[in-house]
Amino acid sequence: MHIRFAHHLFDDYIFRRGVDYMEWGLVRQRPLNDPHVFDIVVDGTRPYNIQIAVDDVGHVLSHTCDCGVHHCKHLAASFIVLSQRQSKDYEVGTNLRLDSNINANVQDPALLHTVVIEQLAKALDVASKNENIDLLFEAYEYYTEQMNWLIDHHCYQSALVVLEYMMDEIVSYWTASNNDLEQMNFFKKQTLWIKSIASSYQIDPRRLISDVLLWTQLYPEIKTEVKGLWLVALCVFASDDLLRDDILHVIASVSEGMDHPKLLAEIEFSYKLYANEEDVEAYSLAHLDSDLIRNYLIDIYLKKHDSQKVIQLCREKIRKSPKHEDVVWVGPMLEAFRQLEDDEGFRATLKWMYYCGEHYALEHLRSITDRRIWREVVDDMIREFHQGAFSDWVYRHLLMEEKRWEQMAVYVSKNPSFIAQLYPYLMDPYPNMVYDLLIEHIDRLYRREKRIEILTPWISVISEYFSEAEGWQLIEKYKS
């Protein structure tokens, strides 16, 4: 995979976190000892060490981060910085210039897929003639944009035809050339389209069933987990008596030899659910290790206003320390406490939602709190942070939102690298401290990178807020 397309390795949330790290100036590149190996440090709760190796033209050979997470926010931030700094060294070449606005020019929705496929065929032809697989990333981005449009506008038949072309033609050529699609989890990402198309009831079910069966046989790269997700999506057709034999056949064919008890349970559960079998709830209670099945029970109990069961099911999944991944469980707990009219439980859960990284929860909590005691509530949250209750990430947001400049100044004095993010908030109340920390930040950046261009944004801050003459002096100092 080319370094300029490495963002496809990450899901949206992780990539956005990586962008934040980059914009805050927390990504620093160490001097090169090898022109093909980039050593990078990302300043977070501790310094994280990243190493990315590329070939002569910018294809990624390996990547690691010592945080231990496979595709983490630190790695995302590193790829973003490298793709910008090395853009002149690693040009992709031909730009296909696919027309992404064709939907506005096609009057007949039934013809949309024809025009989209023409564009995809153009990309495949150019890529194969030039033997340049990197060009297919532009086709992939175009394909994703068009599929989103088709699904959002309920053009499910056209979406199915475009999906078939992508899977039958482009994916066939791409997987024969390299493992880019496997690395970027392409097949799992198709689950959204398969699920949306199946749930629309606007296409020939047997056609999609046959497609899925063919693709699972055609591409051994498709992981067992993805096969299971696709089968779960197809189980919606079990609501039709005439299609149940077809569903059972594809389940038997695709799941043969599948050594994954939880996944098999989810497939069986989904079939039972849509076939309207009577023992679904009992089956679900016996398979609570599945998040899919647990979520089904939570929805059922919320509808029944059986709130205590909802709270129990959610609490069993929420970790001791708040993590963004737990938001899916904290949300139903909020609704359960609302049903119980338990104000204390609702507030505590809303606070936990904020600690998990959902910023809207702070505004919600403020809106239901007596303004006369709101400052005390925030003081309690700050004390909880110092006791290790939640992350620096959320703490910085809390200080910004609540204009707690004194605590922010203390935090930045202990974590000077964050002056790059927080200087706009501290500029007026603590100008001397901001000036000193920015000067240190500029000097620290230069000692690490030895490049004047990396200093320009921060020297501009000195010129704008303090002294233009000092800004020019800094430029002369580091140029020499």
Q: 166 Cβ partners below 8 Å, 6+ apart?
A: 120, 143
Distance (Å, whole) CA 431 – CA 181: 50
Confidence grade of residue 431 (pLDDT, cut at 50, 70, 90)? very high
Look over the chain and give the mean of its residue pLDDT values, rounded to a whole number. Answer: 89
Decide if pLDDT at 208 tops 80.
yes
Domains of the chain, residue spans = 3-85, 306-402, 405-479
Q: 433, 366, 441, 440: which is closest to 406 by C-alpha?
A: 433
* Amino acid identity at 114: T
- pLDDT digits over 319-345, tens only? 999 998 999 999 999 999 999 999 999
At 85 the pLDDT is 65
Decide if pLDDT at 87 tops 60.
no
Decide if pLDDT at 240 tops 60.
yes
Confidence grade of residue 111 (pLDDT, cut at 50, 70, 90)? confident
At 58 the pLDDT is 77
- pLDDT digits over 375-414, tens only? 999 999 999 999 999 998 899 999 999 999 999 999 999 9
Find where tokens 């590149």 sit: 29
- Return the axis-axis angle of helices 343-355 and 327-340, rounded to nearest 10°: 170
Confidence grade of residue 454 (pLDDT, cut at 50, 70, 90)? confident
pTM of the model as a whole: 0.81
Q: Which two tokens stand for residue 408?
A: 């922010």
Q: Are 407 and 430 in contact (CB under 8 A)?
A: no
At 202 the pLDDT is 92
Percent of the chain with pLDDT over 90: 60
For residue 17, the SS3 value is helix
- pLDDT digits over 165-178, tens only? 999 999 998 888 87
pLDDT greater at residue 137 or residue 292: 292
User: Taking the chain, what is the end-to-end CA distance rounded to the nearest angstrom?
Assistant: 39
At 101 the pLDDT is 64
- pLDDT digits over 151-201, tens only? 999 999 999 999 999 999 999 988 888 777 888 889 999 999 999 999 998
Q: What is the DSSP letter of 219?
A: -
Q: Could you tell me how many residues make up the chain?
A: 480
